[in-house]
């Protein structure tokens, strides 16, 4: 199984994904590391990515997922996965893909982005929020409040996966 921890920039994807990987001894991949250099340069310049920019990045994320599943390894990867078609592309990487979406109020996201050093500036938050297609019930995505303690979210993800396994 591979869990994609998704959400807009500043939501806490990396923190949660690392905690899940450490708690369960799963492989971890920081999705930001899979961005082509041109994407990073564009974001550093304060320019929002479009679908064409994201395509090679999503292909790299999907390739990482497919490789993990092919090796029979469990893993966790971060990816904003803002649109349903992006999530659908990642699902096609293999049957064991699950999504956990972290949500936070825009003011908290902005506060977090202004505090950190990252190639994604706070000025691009509005663009990400406009692009985000919130997962609906048909997608079977666990949506978590980013204000909750990381260990509580890890426990909730574990319970969700157990229920998902029992139902499937």
Cβ(142)–Cβ(99) under 8 Å?
yes
CB-based burial label for 156 (10 Å; 0-12, 13-18, 19+)? middle
Percent of the chain scored above 90 by pLDDT? 70
Would the pLDDT of 168 be above 60? no
Question: Residue 105's pLDDT is what?
Answer: 93
User: What's the CATH superfamily of 2-167?
Assistant: P-loop containing nucleotide triphosphate hydrolases (3.40.50.300)
- Domain range summary for the chain, segments of one domain joined by +: 2-167
Question: Residue 57's pLDDT is what?
Answer: 96
Cβ(154)–Cβ(23) under 8 Å?
yes
Indicate the pTM of the whole model.
Answer: 0.92
Question: Residue 124's pLDDT is what?
Answer: 78
Token digits for 126? Answer: 């509005």
Percent of the chain scored above 70 by pLDDT? 93
Reported as a single tens digit per residue, the pLDDT across 95-132 is 999 999 999 999 898 888 778 666 666 677 888 898 99
DSSP 71-102: TT--EEEE----SHHHHHHHHTT-TTEEEEEE
Quote the mean pLDDT of the chain: 91
């Amino acid at each position: 199984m591979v869990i994609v921890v998704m959400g807009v920039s500043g939501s806490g994807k990396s923190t949660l994904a690392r905690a899940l990987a450490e708690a369960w001894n799963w492989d971890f991949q920081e999705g930001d590391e899979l961005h082509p250099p041109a994407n990073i340069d564009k974001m550093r310049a304060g320019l929002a990515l479009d679908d064409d920019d994201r395509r090679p990045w999503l292909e790299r994320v999907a390739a990482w997922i497919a490789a993990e599943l092919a090796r029979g390894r469990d893993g966790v990867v971060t990816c904003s996965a803002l649109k349903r078609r992006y999530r659908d592309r990642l699902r096609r990487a293999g049957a064991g893909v699950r999504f956990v979406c972290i949500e936070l109020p825009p003011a908290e996201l902005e506060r977090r982005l202004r505090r950190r050093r990252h190639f994604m500036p706070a000025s691009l938050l509005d663009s990400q929020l406009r692009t985000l297609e919130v997962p609906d019930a048909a997608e079977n995505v666990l949506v978590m409040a980013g204000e909750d303690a990381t260990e509580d979210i890890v426990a909730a993800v574990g319970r969700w996966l157990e229920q998902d396994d029992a139902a499937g």
